[in-house]
Amino acid sequence: MDSTVAIVTGGAGALGRVICSALLNTGARVAIPLRGSSPEPALRAGAAAPMVYAVPAVIDTEEGAHAFVRAVAARWGEPGILVNAAGAYAGGEAIGEIAGATFEAMLSANLRTAFYMSGAVLPAMRERGSGRIVSITAMAALSPQPKRGAYAIAKGGVVTLTETIAAEVRGTGITANAIAPGIILTAANRASMPSADVARWVTPEEIAAIVIFLCSDDARSVSGTVVRAYGGV
The domain segmentation of the chain, as residue ranges, is: 5-229
Question: What average pLDDT does the structure give for the chain?
Answer: 94
CA 134 vs CA 86, 95, 112, 214, 222: distances in Å: 12, 29, 15, 7, 11
pLDDT in tens, 125-145: 999 999 999 999 999 999 989
> Would you say residue 45 has pLDDT above 50?
no
The secondary structure element, H or E, covering residue 14 is: helix 14-25
Segment 122-127 shows an average pLDDT of 98
Q: DSSP per residue over 21-35, as a string?
A: HHHHHTT-EEEEEES
pLDDT at 100: 97
pLDDT in tens, 167-214: 999 999 999 999 999 999 999 999 999 988 999 999 999 999 999 999
Beta bridge partners of 56: 34
Residue (of 213, 133, 117, 207) closest to 173 by Cα position: 133
Fold of 5-229: Rossmann fold (3.40.50)
pLDDT in tens, 67-96: 999 999 999 999 999 999 999 999 999 999
- The pTM for the full model equals 0.95
